[in-house]
Copies of this chain bind each other. A is one copy, B any other.
Amino acid sequence: MSMGTEPSAADARRSAQREALLDAASEMLVHGGPDAISLRKLATRVGTSTMAVYTAFGGKEGLITALFEEAYDRLAAAEEAVPKNREPLRRLHDLALAYRSFALKNPSYYALMISSTLPVPDALRHGEAADGNPAARNVTGHRSYRIMLDAVTACVGEGSLPAHIGADVLADALWAAVHGLCSLELAGFHASAEAAEKRFNVTTGAILRGLLTPKGLKKLDGFSRAE
């Protein structure tokens, strides 16, 4: 193994510290907004110097951008861990499970990704919307979104999902249902983990059935009979 391909112990330490800083900052951001992020407090909490935080992120704005990048990268990594060789409809289901698992494991990152009140870094911004709403977030170019869209497109390609609605609208419909479930679960609206899981299964099953073509429904029923 050469030094060029294997991370050194110093690299590993730097990477672990970066993750600890991001984890602590994500908590500060979602609980208190940008004003609650103090680079000095952050350094103290993680046991490093304020200078090290500046060196890693270039300041508060860079830190906030890094938080959003980390959040979307973790979601993408969770989706990339889903096996690619499954039937398109099963893959959609696997991706929904991976999304939920990501959200439950990374609640502070999930909260900042979908917050309607936190300022959006420029990298995620389309520009100000004409009607004074928050600027649209441009996540459609990120691989976390492309993976989902490609899976939907594969289902359209095999005729399981209809071609006339648009793969982007279909993907957003599935996303809305799965996000809504995760959001209500994280906010504590479900009385128990079992109650949350039952709602997850009923809701994701229903949104999929409601979107499928007759051919897609037949495929889905075939899976259920086989299980």
Contacts and interface: CB of A to CB of B under 8 A. Distances in A.
Interface of A: 30-33, 35-36, 107-108, 110-111, 114-117, 120, 126, 129, 131, 133-137, 139, 165, 169-170, 172-173, 175-181, 183-184, 186-193, 198-199, 202-203, 205-211
A118 B177 CA distance: 23
The SS class assigned to the A binding surface is helix
A180 B176 CA distance: 4
Q: Assembly of this chain: how many copies?
A: 2
A76 B175 CA distance: 27
Given A117-B111, A187-B134, A210-B205, A176 B177 contact: yes
Given A139-B189, A176-B203, A180-B178, A117 B210 contact: no
Contact of A136 (B33, B189, B206): B189
Given A165-B202, A179-B183, A203-B177, A188 B134 contact: yes
A146 to B, nearest CB: 15
Contacts of A110: 116
Nearest to A191: B136
A205 B170 CA distance: 12
Given A33-B36, A203-B173, A137 B188 contact: yes
